[in-house]
Structure 1
Amino acid sequence: MKNHQNNVELRYGTFLDQMVAFIAPKDLNIIAGRGTRKTTGIVADRSQEVVYDMPRSVLGFAADTFVNAKDKVLPKLVEGWREYLGWREGVHYVLEDRPPSHFDIPYTPIMTYKNTISIFNGCIFKLGSLDQPSGLAGDSIQHLFGDEVKYFDKKVLDIISPALRGHPQVRHSPFYRGTTFTTDLPNISKKNHDWILDNRDLMDMEKIKAAFQAGSILNEINHKIKRAYDLRNTGMLKKYIKQRERWMVKWYKARKDTTFFMMVSSLVNLDILDNGYVMSQLDKLGWEEFKQSVLTFKSKLEEGERFYVGLGEHHYYDDGIVNEIERQTGFQEKITCKSLRYWDPHAPLDIGVDFGKMISMVVAQEQGKYYRCLKNHYTLIPESSAELGKKFREYWSPHINRTVYMYYDRSGNQYESSGRDWASEVRKHIEYDENGKSTGWNVVLMSREQGNIRQSQEHFFIKQVLQETTKGLPILLIDRYQCRELKSSLELSKIVIGVESRTGIKYIKKDKSSESLPVNKLPLQSTNMSDAFKYLMYRKKWTKLVKYEREYLPTGLDGVVG
């Protein structure tokens, strides 16, 4: 909006926004609840400040996966620049293209503009990810940005950190070799990474107070300069400009080598979100998820409550991407299975599918004694089987063996309430494109005569797979980054105790309450994808190897009844 004199733009900023602007530390660590505009606000604002303070520098922007960097992080950053900060594409920045001749050039020669953002003053952002850390690790960057760092493995991030170096021309800046990390609160029960919490111990409060005080005084001086300019008072204008020069030096010195950590709830933005938003989130999320996502309260899932007992770090692999192939893929290009390191193009594919508001698909291959989950796909309503089939066809288009074995919930053969044959629909949309043309894929439905899989059976069987104690069962491997939703779903699944109404006998169930969350929260916060995994794994040739025994219920769960 504009003020009454129509000569200055005013923007709303929370006290968090103001603190970050006044302190402007070298290293910024923010944990904030939903609705606090972390990317479009804090990161977009700070990235502009870094750009103006270190012209012609090379800046890194990392996400957990390259797909998320391109599809989620980058659009939000650009939205913040465009909608709130006045930057225009083609004028202030250019996406992955050689910049116009009037743009300044970086100190470091740029060999390719794939996956970059060029800025008018010669700065350039290089997009990278932790699933292929060598992309940024081999560069020389002057500041690193990371969004949703609860998904960042600290060991992998440490591979990138040595890239923070270079160019004495910008060493004057307090942002030089700094970092900007934002996220909502890491949830240990979902195996989020919580190393950002350790960074609060790096904060020197006396230095932060000094930087804040200098920044506040500098802000007041800027207001005085503005008033003197409006009143055309040349004497006062010169006086305040000299004051600003002195305090700018003090502010820069105070900010050198500072680390600022802050954790806030969504209530920091209550003036914009209003009480209705908060109450609606409570109704939608339930108390436990509301505490975590809105109020920023920690939660923890104890080991005995886990449904997938035995699931550990050794079941995940980090090197599933061929970096050279994925780096050659631009923002607007589709990534395909060609970038998968462990994909066998000559072997058939297995897919496990679960139906509902979220249709979940896990794609895997048998590779000797290993069973490797290579990729997961999903759709959310109003998207359905047609969109899921298209996602599969596009991603797996280079695959040579066109046979797919599909495992699914037996109700997928016929959803009685809707009269839809979901399984045949998915098969149709893989075998034929949207124009009815054959794609060459042959989908074999593997669950036609399958009986109902009790959750207690699933729990016992998958435990044998994960604990690797039964001869003949495969060794499970899951791509940490390409199966991000599967990983989260498996790790958040909890046990509840069911009671037979007729006999009173207690038995193990999977807590499915998360499947009632708002649709956009289902991919990472529900058990949906774990059900697709269940259908994928629970097949006769493996289940017959398991000798089922009576299981003792986990202690401490007697009062947890589903």
Structure 2
Amino acid sequence: MENFWEENISLNSFQISVMAFQAKYKALIAGRGTGKSFITGAEIDENVRTMPRGITGVVQQTLGQALTKTLPSAFKYLEKAGYRKYNPKTKTGDYVVCQKPPDHFYTPHEKIMSYEYMISFSNGHGLYLLSQAAGMRGPNIDYALSDEALTLDKVKFDQEAVPTNRGNEEQFGIYSQDRLLKHHGYTFTSSMGYLPEHKWLTDFADYYEKEAGIQLFVIWNKIANMQLQLIQAKINNDEKTAVELWKECGRLRKTITPFVSEDGTLFMLSNAFDNIYNLGFSYLTRMYKVMDLVSFMIEILNFYLNKVTDCYYSLDDRHIYYKADNDDYIRGLAENNNFNWDELARHRDSLCDADCNPSKPLEITPDWGTKISLIEVGQESMFDYVTGLITPCDNNINEFFVKPEENPDTMINTLMDNFCEYYRKHKEKMIIYTVDTYGDIRLANSKKTYNQHAISRLEKNKWKVRVRRHPGKEPPHNEKYLLWRYLLHETDPRLPKKRFNGARCKYTLISMNNTSVIQKMNGFFEKDKRSERQTSVLPEEATHFGDAVDKRMWAKYGSMLKKGSSFVNPRF
């Protein structure tokens, strides 16, 4: 038969469970490799089929996020399900992107004034792209969908997106003969949140304990830790231990079997083990070997991160995180590529970042470790991406890390090459390199130190390097602590506002949010390393990004807070 084909779509246990449950509201927190993109695509497909001439709002923090992350992966599933982009020459196809649909397409019940942000399907269903960064003005919608929901501003979502989720009750809602349970509902998919402002996502799980007495996250973290031990046992060829851990994980999973709450909410957790039959166990062992432990626990095993109560950095006191996609640049790329989803998914460089000024130098600071080596990337700005005001800011705009290999030369080369590749289109090829004094140690079998080797690699990639050193071997803990109090409380007019790109500096913020403080008998403060041995806090790697940021801040601003030889006590 003509125009007929078959596609094999293999579902994992997580995907099957999500599709099996009938819920109005869904909050799905899953790690890498679990198939979240399938869920997004499946929700779009179901909405198109069950709500012809309805509208699904795709709510993202930025338009660039929707075009480069959410939609490319979702449309891979839709194309497998048989959807095809409309071809004006053959007049065949099922959807058009961000343009007026052909005359034979149905149109939504809701009047559409502009198709600039609409993906139109032939049966009249519309996929409307709503950006928090640009303001979420648009038509009323029948369903809200958000991928990587941890990037959303929840207050803004409630104020702007929720009021638009209304209308069409006579077609799909309470006045319809075929009322849809999911009408005016929403689906949030996301990786695990790592900042205090992400707690709203995990709050959806409260009904597990209230309605069934299940301490979901306590049990989930036990499973994740055992899965880590299972992987280690497999690597060590300890099959007996691996089998025992596998069985115990299975037993614990049954104690947190998902269910829908009384108000129609479904909350689910998932990690790569749920997709092991598609990924293969080799994927888990490979990721374990190449990723640092913090990244592996959160990204792959979806570990629930508890914040240290008494934090060395008072990050909760002010909102200092922002997101900054260059939507105009990304939209231009999308139009030039005729909205080719594969090209959009692959493309990412520094020009996509609105907070990176290509005409100004970049500042980097390394931290050379035995378990992880990294650089944090900063740049000064006169624009505050949190408040939208014109004011001096010191921004952390990116981060890079590698797991050290047997050959340190290769590790350094990889780290610096990754940085240079991402910033290949940066015009001002100048780097201000804050030296990690431990990096002055000479490499084995080499005349160069870690720092010299890194700088040499940057220069080989056509970057000019200016070295900045902080006084002393390492910035003193107490003085650093007081400096951060000044920076984050914004009490000293000589200091810039300190800001972090929450999307690009994920592990920097994890590090800083999970570094606790202790006060010594002499009244001085220092980082508490004992917390790294507690099960509620991730391992040692979590401190390194914070250490790197410390060095740059201390080298730049430490001297401003000294009066004579004594530190001026902060007043706040």
Which of the five TM-score ranges fits, normalised by the shorter chain?
Answer: 0.5 to 0.7
- Compared CA separation, residues 542 and 467, structure 1 to 2 (3 A): same
- Compared CA separation, residues 336 and 38, structure 1 to 2 (3 A): closer
- Compared CA separation, residues 452 and 66, structure 1 to 2 (3 A): farther
Q: Which residue of 2 aligns with 1:352?
A: 364
Residue 314 of structure 2 is aligned with which of 288, 310, 317? 310
Determine the C-alpha separation between the residues in 1 that align with 2:77 and 2:32.
Answer: 16
SS of the residue 2:315 aligns to: coil
Residue 198 of structure 1 is aligned with which of 176, 197, 203? 203
- Compared CA separation, residues 370 and 281, structure 1 to 2 (3 A): same
SS of the residue 2:318 aligns to: helix
Q: Which residue of 2 aligns with 1:502?
A: none
What displacement does 1:146 show?
Answer: 1.3
- Compared CA separation, residues 495 and 311, structure 1 to 2 (3 A): same
- Compared CA separation, residues 444 and 22, structure 1 to 2 (3 A): closer
Structural mapping, 1:542-557, within 5 Å:
542-546=558-562
Contact 2:478 2:526 in 1 (8 A): no
Residue 375 of structure 1 is aligned with which of 391, 394, 397? 397
Partner deviation per Cα, 1:44-64 (whole Å, 9 max, x = no partner): 112211111112322222334
Q: Which residue of 2 aligns with 1:88?
A: 84
Percent of aligned positions that are identical = 22
Contact 1:147 1:183 in 2 (8 A): yes
Q: Which residue of 1 aligns with 2:381?
A: 365
Contact 2:362 2:377 in 1 (8 A): no
Determine the C-alpha separation between the residues in 1 that align with 2:415 and 2:114.
Answer: 38
Residue 31 of structure 1 is aligned with which of 29, 32, 39? 29
- Structure 2 unaligned runs (5+)? 87-92, 174-178, 213-259, 337-347, 384-389, 403-410, 519-524, 534-540, 568-572
SS of the residue 1:538 aligns to: helix
Deviates more, 1:325-334 or 1:56-65: 325-334
Q: Which residue of 2 aligns with 1:453?
A: 474
Determine the C-alpha separation between the residues in 2 that align with 1:495 and 1:275.
Answer: 35
- Compared CA separation, residues 482 and 184, structure 1 to 2 (3 A): closer
Q: Which residue of 2 aligns with 1:150?
A: 150
Contact 1:32 1:184 in 2 (8 A): yes
RMSD of aligned Cα (Å): 5.1
Structural mapping, 1:29-178, within 5 Å:
29-39=27-37, 41-82=38-79, 84-90=80-86, 91-108=93-110, 110=112, 112-114=114-116, 116-130=118-132, 132=133, 134=135, 136-158=136-158, 159-167=160-168, 168-171=170-173, 172-178=179-185
Contact 2:376 2:548 in 1 (8 A): yes
In the alignment, structure 1 residue 488 sits paired with structure 2 residue 513:
no
In the alignment, structure 1 residue 331 sits paired with structure 2 residue 334:
yes
What displacement does 1:459 show?
Answer: 3.7
- Compared CA separation, residues 490 and 183, structure 1 to 2 (3 A): same
Determine the C-alpha separation between the residues in 2 that align with 1:272 and 1:11.
Answer: 11
SS of the residue 1:13 aligns to: coil
The residue identity in structure 1 corresponding to 2:167 is G
What displacement does 1:69 show?
Answer: 2.9
Q: Which residue of 1 aligns with 2:304?
A: 298
- Compared CA separation, residues 164 and 18, structure 1 to 2 (3 A): same
The residue identity in structure 1 corresponding to 2:486 is V
- Compared CA separation, residues 185 and 460, structure 1 to 2 (3 A): closer
Equivalent pairs counted in the alignment come to 455
Contact 1:414 1:422 in 2 (8 A): no
- Compared CA separation, residues 459 and 45, structure 1 to 2 (3 A): same
What displacement does 1:332 show?
Answer: 5.5
- Compared CA separation, residues 403 and 482, structure 1 to 2 (3 A): same
The residue identity in structure 2 corresponding to 1:31 is I
Contact 1:114 1:327 in 2 (8 A): no
What displacement does 1:474 show?
Answer: 0.9
Determine the C-alpha separation between the residues in 1 that align with 2:19 and 2:526.
Answer: 55
Contact 2:308 2:514 in 1 (8 A): no
- Compared CA separation, residues 195 and 319, structure 1 to 2 (3 A): closer
Contact 1:65 1:481 in 2 (8 A): no
What displacement does 1:331 show?
Answer: 3.0
- Compared CA separation, residues 496 and 89, structure 1 to 2 (3 A): farther
SS of the residue 1:181 aligns to: strand
Q: Which residue of 1 aligns with 2:238?
A: none
Q: Which residue of 1 aligns with 2:435?
A: 409
- Structure 1 unaligned runs (5+)? 1-5, 207-253, 432-442, 498-505, 515-524, 551-562
SS of the residue 2:198 aligns to: coil
Residue 11 of structure 2 is aligned with which of 10, 13, 18? 13
The residue identity in structure 1 corresponding to 2:393 is Y
- Compared CA separation, residues 407 and 80, structure 1 to 2 (3 A): same
Q: Which residue of 2 aligns with 1:212?
A: none
Determine the C-alpha separation between the residues in 1 that align with 2:489 and 2:528.
Answer: 22
Contact 1:350 1:365 in 2 (8 A): no
Residue 180 of structure 1 is aligned with which of 187, 193, 197? 187
What displacement does 1:361 show?
Answer: 1.7
Partner deviation per Cα, 1:60-83 (whole Å, 9 max, x = no partner): 22334444333322222122223x
The residue identity in structure 1 corresponding to 2:395 is C
The residue identity in structure 1 corresponding to 2:515 is K
| TM-score of the two chains, using structure 1 as the length reference | 0.63
Contact 1:291 1:297 in 2 (8 A): yes
SS of the residue 1:126 aligns to: strand
Residue 267 of structure 2 is aligned with which of 261, 264, 269? 261
What displacement does 1:149 show?
Answer: 2.2
Contact 1:56 1:122 in 2 (8 A): yes
Partner deviation per Cα, 1:211-230 (whole Å, 9 max, x = no partner): xxxxxxxxxxxxxxxxxxxx
Determine the C-alpha separation between the residues in 1 that align with 2:325 and 2:349.
Answer: 11
SS of the residue 1:49 aligns to: helix
Q: Which residue of 1 aligns with 2:549?
A: 533
SS of the residue 2:487 aligns to: helix
Partner deviation per Cα, 1:325-371 (whole Å, 9 max, x = no partner): 5796563678988995x99999x666334377655422223689743
- Compared CA separation, residues 256 and 314, structure 1 to 2 (3 A): closer
Determine the C-alpha separation between the residues in 1 that align with 2:330 and 2:441.
Answer: 43
What displacement does 1:181 show?
Answer: 1.1
Determine the C-alpha separation between the residues in 2 that align with 1:383 and 1:89.
Answer: 39
Contact 1:413 1:424 in 2 (8 A): no
Determine the C-alpha separation between the residues in 2 that align with 1:403 and 1:295.
Answer: 38
SS of the residue 1:60 aligns to: strand
Determine the C-alpha separation between the residues in 2 that align with 1:43 and 1:148.
Answer: 10
Structural mapping, 1:507-526, within 5 Å:
508=527
Q: Which residue of 1 aligns with 2:231?
A: none
